[in-house]
Amino acid sequence: MSTPYYLPEDKVPLPPPDAEVFTTCCDYCIVACGYKVYRWPVGQEGGVKANENAFKKNFPVGALGRWVSPNQHNIVMANGKPHHVVIVGDSDTEAVNLTGDHSIRGGCIAQKVYNPSKPTKDRTGFKDL
Ligand code: SF4
């Protein structure tokens, strides 16, 4: 049996201005840092200008600016169609981690959602976000 190659993503789509936005929290520990989930159909993509993406930021941002890593992106089925999801720390939260900070563990919660092309393929339920 051969070992499958791991080909990491080297590009992450930006959510378009009309992406759906949900708030959620990390469930890895009792802190429950806040996150925002941006969801939009596969086939659409936001642009690098502030008026072309849901973050309302010009990209690339500075070295310490908010950017989206490949671990913060995934593809899910929603309403019967494939959708992009980008899950990032919620800098608007009024509860904990007010600046949208998070640990490396929580920062990767986008990888927990079911995707038959990723390690979550061994999960039998929770296929929709
Ligand atoms: S992001 Fe880290 S610190 Fe925050 S709730 Fe998740 S595990 Fe806990």
Distance 44 CA to ligand 1 centre (A): 30
Distance 129 CA to ligand 1 centre (A): 20
Number of domains in the chain: 1
Cα separation of 76 and 98, whole Å? 28
The answer as to whether 67 is a domain residue is: yes
The answer as to whether 15 is a domain residue is: no
The answer as to whether 79 is a domain residue is: yes
Ligand 1 pocket member 96 (CB < 6 A): no
Q: Of 33, 26, 41, 112, nearest to 15 (Cα)? A: 41
The answer as to whether 6 is a domain residue is: no
* Tens digits of residue pLDDT in 24-43: 999 999 999 999 999 999 99
The answer as to whether 13 is a domain residue is: no
* Tens digits of residue pLDDT in 65-107: 888 999 999 999 999 999 999 999 999 998 888 888 888 999 9
Q: What is the CATH number of the domain that holds 29?
A: 2.60.40.4210
Cα separation of 129 and 126, whole Å? 7
Q: Does pLDDT of 5 surpass 90?
A: no
Domain, as residue range, for 35? 20-119
Q: Given pLDDT bands bounded at 50, 70 and 90, which one contains residue 1?
A: low
* Substitution candidate for ligand 1 out of 24, 25, 27, 29 with most atoms within 8 A of CB: 29
* Substitution candidate for ligand 1 out of 24, 31, 97, 101 with most atoms within 8 A of CB: 31
Close Cβ partners of 125 (under 8 Å, ≥ 6 residues apart): none
